[in-house]
Structure formats: structure tokens, C-alpha cells
A and B are shown apart, each in its own frame.
Chain A
Amino acid sequence: MSTQTIRLELAASPHLKSPDTTPRIMWTVLATLVPVVLAALYFFGLGALLVIAASTAGALALEGWLGKARSVRDGSAAITGVLLGLTLPAGFPLWMAFIGGAFAIGFGKLIFGGLGQNVFNPALLGRAFLQAAFPTAITTWPKVAQGWTTVYASNFAWPFMHPTDTITAATPLGMMKFEHTGTAAWPLMVGSTGGSLGETAGLVILLCGAYLAWKGYLNWRIPVAVLGTAALFATALHLASPRYPDAVFMVFSGGLILGAVYMATDMVTSPVTPRGAWIFGAGVGVLVVLIRIWGGLPEGVMYAILIMNAFVPFINRGTQPRVFGTTRKKRVRGGKEATP
């Protein structure tokens, strides 16, 4: 083609753009959740799938209704819904899951101004809401491995009716807290223990997280810091007194791995600086152990992450990178340099 008829465009440099866009990252994260969901299906049956579907539907419905159309397409609301579903027990009433998903998006994200503006992880905020609103339903865990076609009667409880007749199984953390009995390591890692949907299959989640870290879609420092700190802290306590659980139990029980890999690493609500990521992760790890061992609740991942979310702006401020060609000494707090 001759240069006379070319239709030119003008754009600022750089003229190249890496193909990793926000929607692509979000959808990839969602794709890596598929194995986790499948594990939940395997251990808890079809009811698990229904719960996840309900919370996701709630999240998408509210995003589509109040948010912008494009924010449904970018996949972030779907992630919130699926993650919330994974923190719920398999026999959770579907209407509650739906409301939880809607709350997570509405009060966890849209109220702050939509994508990128929220302070707290929306999925965990949704779970915190559900825990406050329906404390019984959210701590009623059905027995594991009843076959993958299992659906729970409590799933279909009518709104505002109390679900009944669920066969309850204690979670490893609950047993540790209230009965002081441990659980063997292998079932913990594989996931054949009682608990919330996405909490149990620790190894599967770790593999998915490793893939995301390799793609550069999650900040590997955060899960490493969270799990490392929790393990170190637990080991120290265990050595001091065998009354406390060891590191393997601490890491693989409850929702720590799911939280460390998928929730603490939520880009919006975690620090942007590499050093900040270490601090944030370590904070979560310490808080989890503190809450689990000395707190009133058996599990502390949710509150640990939410508390650390609140500190993210301060962490970011305090860990601004040292600019090339400057020395750290000259800097004063608040990211500003003292004028020479």
C-alpha cells in the first residue's frame, strides 16, 4: 500500500503494551479457582457447588444492577462471589449465600467507588457480615465425603427460617480449640476434614497459587510471608509448650491457605510495595496465630486479613521505595524527602 493513502493514528509512547490486562488477570485467577471448586465438589457434594453458585450469583447481580456493565465483564465480581462461597460451609442455605454475595459487592466494593477503591477484601467483608447475621448456619459444617451428589436439606431452607437436621462435624480447629484434640497431617493437607468449602484442600490451593505467582498475577511475597510467619510463630509456641499445635497443623487447618493465597493477595487491598507486602503478610500470619490460640473464635484468618487491610495505606506510606540514586537516610516519614 502506498504511503499516500495510509490512515495514521497518534498515541503517546510507549506504543507497545503488555497483553496482561486487568480483565485477563481476573479471569485467570477465576480459572485457577476451578480446581479448588472441584475439590469442594468432591469432598462435600453438589451442595457445595450450589452454595458457590448462589454467592456468585448474588455478587454478579448486585454488580450488574448498581455497578457498571464493564465491571461485570472484568471478572472481579465473579472472583468475589466464588471466594465468598469457598469460605462457607456446604450445607449453608442458598438464600443466605446469595445475600452474602450481594453484600460483599455492595458494601465491600461499590460503596467505596467500585473496582480499585475498596479498603477491605469484599469477599471477607461478605463473610464477616454472614458470620454476624447467621452465626449458627455459618458454623454448621456437614460431614465430609458423603458422595459428590450430596445435597443438603439446609441448602434449601426458606428465607428467615431456621435450617434443621444437619449432621454436624467438628472442624480440626474447633476440635483443637474446644476439645484439645489434634488432627493427622495428611487428611489436613488433602482436605478430607470438616470445614468450609475451600478451606480443606490445602495442597490444591497451593498449586493454583504457585501457577498464579509464576504468571506474575499474584504477589508471591504475601502468601510466603503469611504462611512462613504463621509456621514460625506456631513452631516457637509448640516448642515452648506442646500444648500448642505444631506448624503443619497451624498452616493446613482452617482457611489459612485459602486466605493467604487468594484473599490476602487481593491486589486492591494489599500493599503495592514489595517491602509492604512482607510486612502485611507477616502481620496476617501473626494475627491468625494470636486469634486462633488466645482469641475466642477457633478461626482467625478472616479477621486477621480484614485488620491488616485497614493498615494497608499506612504500610504503603511507610514503605515507599528508595528512589534510584538517593540514599534512604535523607528521607523523612511520609514518603517525602527532606529538602536539602
Chain B
Amino acid sequence: MRSTFRHGVHPPDSKALTAAVPLRRMPYAAEVVLPLRQHAGKPARPVVRVGDRVQRGDVLAEADGFVSSPVHASAAGVVKAIGLWPHPDGTLSDAIRIAVDPFNPQIPRPRMVPDWNGLTPPEVVKAVQDAGVVGLGGAAFPTHVKLAPPKDIHLESLIVNGAECEPYLTTDHRTMVEYPERVHFGVRIMMRALGVKRAVIGVERNKPDAIERLRATLPPDLDVIILPLTVKYPQGAEKMLIHAVTGREVPSGKLPMNVGVVVQNVGSIATIAEVFETGLPLVERIVTVSGPGVRRPSNLIIPVGTKVRDILEFCGGVSADATEVVLGGPMMGTAQPNLDVPVTKGTTGVIVLTRRDTPRFETLPCIRCGSCLEACPVFLNPSMLGLHAQAGRYEEMESMHLADCMLCGACSYVCPSAIPLSQMFALSKTALKKARSKVVA
């Protein structure tokens, strides 16, 4: 175990703002908005109609196929509308709006998720899908899909991603500190479902209290190693984490399964445990509200679908020089043009940055310093790729492994000439996809 990967960058982690702030529950807002697309895969299909009265945890929309995930009511109330609403990805997309009943005690129906004991692995997969559990680390890939690997795959171990390498974010940190038993219980469920004997929880060294709590609460019968990792971005990227833990490289274009491991975010693990423990589907998640522009940085347990505006007001509002509101971490998150967007299952943080944090650097010509090459965690040549992108030579970029770029932003972060490399690569990927769909059509 090498506890890190090669290359990478060291942005200031800025986690001190919230690292020691205990979790708090945010009260229900007047309205929650639940997009039908809160996960990677097909959007869910609504099963309620406007005017329907729903209880907390009721199914609002069901999964449409295997790679899809249902949406549950995160608060009791009345379905106010089903239609277009701003989505965290910047588009307008279909969402179910619920007017929250202010006098409802918000007590869910008892045990909507079956008891874990005695379930066969396929039943666990089904229960996890029905509970609407998706990856809570940001990408929101449906968790149950990872629990059901193809038959011909031999799995050796489960890797739990507690790296949380994005600056500012402390959701996984607080989960590990406050609910370590839940993490271990989730690991137990995952290991049983996957049929693996070993698990490793990777945690960056800047969270010593989390490492200590996990070690102190580890059940003796569980073969789990808690591995401290070097603090470096993007340590929490799936392939980097696997390399750090096993020393193996996931082959280009392949999945972690191909090297015998499954990676799951620590937040998702805790959520699996939580849904089996409480019997309530995924209706709330932990969100870090932080950044220099927030009055009261906090770690909050927030009903899914709560609007960013309500969250920021609850945290005391924003400072006068706030310029960017980012959902997710500041390295890969998306800036929001509209504060009425709701927090979805994949939202790890609400980060408010000020003018000082987002200075405008003039884009200068590339001076071929090679910083980007030494930053890129997948060993691409961003400097050359950037030149190709500017000239629109997308096929050339493809042959230089553009597909392996995960848009982590390390190259843009270090570029002394402030060339928006990562944005250019995202565009090139889109252009290639467009060109390819045209060829097929």
C-alpha cells in the first residue's frame, strides 16, 4: 500500500471552517423541489399527480429500468406542480414540487425498507434500489448497480472512499466522526452483497479524528483496514484511490471491477446502513455549507430538494462580496446562476466564494512550463491537448487519450498562464460525442 498516487496538486484545503462543526438538522423549508434526474442514468417516472397528498418517504417517481433510481418525498405535504425547474446542472428539467405541510410532524410510515437480516444478495440489491440510494460523492451513480457486478467478474475487495479531497467539503469527515458505527455496518452490508472478504477505508491524513474514531469502533469480526492517505487532490478520484490502496492501475477505458475492486463513497455506505437501520428511504443527506462568503459555515442534514436560497438564509446569508455559489466542491462543482436550484442526492456542498477567491487572471500564451503534465493524475499532456482544443483538432485529442481525462481541474488549477484547460477539454468531449452521434445517424 502506497497511500497515494503520482502527480496531483495541493490546493489549500480550507476545511478548518467546518471540520469541527457538528452536524445539525435543517428545518423544513416551505417548499421542496425534487428533480426526476438526481442520478446518473435514466430519469425516474413520476407516479403522483398534482394535488396528491404525500407522506415523508413516499415514492414520487419510480426507477425507469435497472440503471435508474426512484425519488421519494423528502417531506410530507401536497404535490404542488410537476414541471420544469432549475436543475443543479444549469438546465431546466422536470421536477416534482411539494408544498411542505407546516403542521405535519413529518413522521414517516414505519419500515419502508425491509430488515437487512435474512436478505439474499439480490434482495439487498433490490432493497437498495427501492430506497433510492445513489453515490453521494457527487457523481450520483446508482449504488445498487455497483452491488450487482456481472457474473464473470471476480471481486477481491471493497474500497471505501473517505478521502474527501475537494477543498472546503467536510460531509464525509463529519459522517465518519459522528457515525463510525454506521460506516462499519454499511461496509458489512456491502461486503455481504458483493461476496468480498476484505475492505479498506481510505481517509486522507488531514482527518485524524475520523481515522481514530473509525479504528476505535471497528468490530473485531470485520476484516477492514483503515488506511491513512496522503493529502493531495484528486486523491478521492476512483482510479487514484484504487492506485493508492492496491498499487494497481485501472486500465484505460475499464471499470474498477476489472481490477477486482468496487469503490463506494463513505457517505453512500453510511446511507445504505441508515436506510436499513431506520427503514426510511434516502430523503435527506449531509451537505457542507461553507466558503468565505457564508456567514455561518455549517454541516447540515438537509431534506433532499431544499432550495439553495433557503439553505443560505438558514446559514445567516452571504457576505456582500460573494460572487460564486458552487454546488459540490470548488474544484469540480458547478457554479449556479439561480439560487432556486434544489439540493439533490449528489450535492456534497454549497460553497460560496468571494471575489478574492476567484480572481480574474488574464489568459496568457502557454509558456510550456510543464506544470500541467506534473499535475495531471492520469498522465495526460494537457498543454498539447489544449493546443489541439484551440485548433478544434478533436480526433487528434482522442488519440491522445482525452477520454481518460476526468475533468478534475488539476491542470487549470496550476496553469500559470490561466488557460482554461479543463473547460476546453469538457467542450472537446462534448464536440466529439456530437460528431460521433452524427456519424451513427
Contact = CB atoms under 8 A, between A and B. Distances in A.
B370 A21 contact: no
B42 to A, nearest CB: 25
B312 interface: yes
A12 B383 contact: no
Residue among A12, A273, A274 with the highest chain B CB neighbour number at 10 A: A12
Given A13-B333, A16-B167, A7 B323 contact: yes
A38 B426 CA distance: 49
A218 to B, nearest CB: 9
B422 A321 contact: no
A22 B414 CA distance: 11
B364 A16 contact: no
Contact of B309 (A3, A323, A325, A336): A3
Contacts of B139: none
Interface string B150-169: 00000000000000000100
Contacts of A271: 370
B418 interface: yes
A175 B252 CA distance: 58
Interface size class of A (residues with CB under 8 A): 35 or more
How many B residues touch the partner, as a band?
35 or more
Nearest to B358: A15
A13 B332 contact: yes
Interface string B193-206: 00000000000000
B331 A15 contact: yes
A164 interface: no
A321 B312 CA distance: 44
A176 interface: no
Given A267-B368, A324-B379, A11 B309 contact: no
B320 interface: yes
Interface stretch (B45-53, B103-111, B397-405): B397-405
Contact of B404 (A18, A21, A325): A325
B370 A219 contact: yes
Interface in B359-407: 359, 361-362, 364-371, 373-374, 376-381, 383-384, 399-401, 404, 407
A337 B412 CA distance: 25
B230 interface: no
Contacts of B334: 13
Interface in B135-194: 167
A25 B369 contact: yes
Interface in A288-331: 316, 320-326
A246 interface: no
A217 B364 CA distance: 17
A114 B364 CA distance: 11
A277 B318 CA distance: 47
Given A1-B319, A3-B317, A323 B370 contact: no
Nearest to B311: A3
A18 B374 CA distance: 14
B365 A3 contact: no
Contacts of A17: 358-359, 361, 412-413, 418
Contacts of A147: none
A325 B250 CA distance: 5
B9 A18 contact: yes
A322 B337 contact: no
A8 interface: yes
Given A24-B416, A325-B251, A117 B309 contact: no
A9 interface: yes
Contact of A272 (B312, B378, B383): B383
A286 B336 CA distance: 56
A20 B413 CA distance: 9
Interface string B410-434: 1011101110101100100000000
Contacts of B223: none
Contacts of B370: 219, 267, 271-274, 277
Nearest to A25: B416
Nearest to B243: A324
Contact of B364 (A1, A22, A323): A22
Contacts of B239: 324-325
A268 interface: yes
Contacts of A13: 326, 330-335, 407, 409, 422-423
A242 interface: no
B259 to A, nearest CB: 9
B142 to A, nearest CB: 23
A325 B255 CA distance: 11
Contact of A274 (B313, B353, B373): B373
B31 interface: no
Interface in B59-75: none
Contacts of B250: 325
A323 B368 contact: no
A267 B364 CA distance: 14
A3 B339 contact: yes
Contact of B252 (A16, A216, A325): A325
A333 interface: no
A15 B422 contact: no
A70 interface: yes
Given A22-B367, A325-B252, A326-B252, A8 B383 contact: no
Nearest to B6: A324
A323 to B, nearest CB: 4
B313 A3 contact: yes
Contacts of A2: 313, 317
Nearest to A334: B399
A1 B319 CA distance: 6
B254 interface: yes
A6 interface: yes
Nearest to A12: B423
A159 interface: no
Contacts of A70: 362, 364
B99 interface: no
A135 interface: no
Contact of B426 (A7, A12, A22, A274): A12
Given A6-B322, A116-B368, 14 more contacts: A1-B317, A3-B313, A7-B323, A12-B420, A13-B332, A16-B167, A16-B358, A18-B9, A21-B416, A272-B368, A274-B370, A324-B379, A325-B378, A336-B399
Interface of A: 1-3, 6-18, 20-22, 24-25, 70, 74, 114-117, 216, 219, 267-268, 270-274, 277, 316, 320-326, 335-337
Q: Enumerate the 4 nearest inter-chain pairs by beta-carbon distance, A residue then B residue, closest first.
A: A14-B409, A116-B365, A324-B378, A12-B423
7 contacts: A2-B317, A3-B339, A6-B322, A14-B332, A15-B358, A24-B416, A272-B369
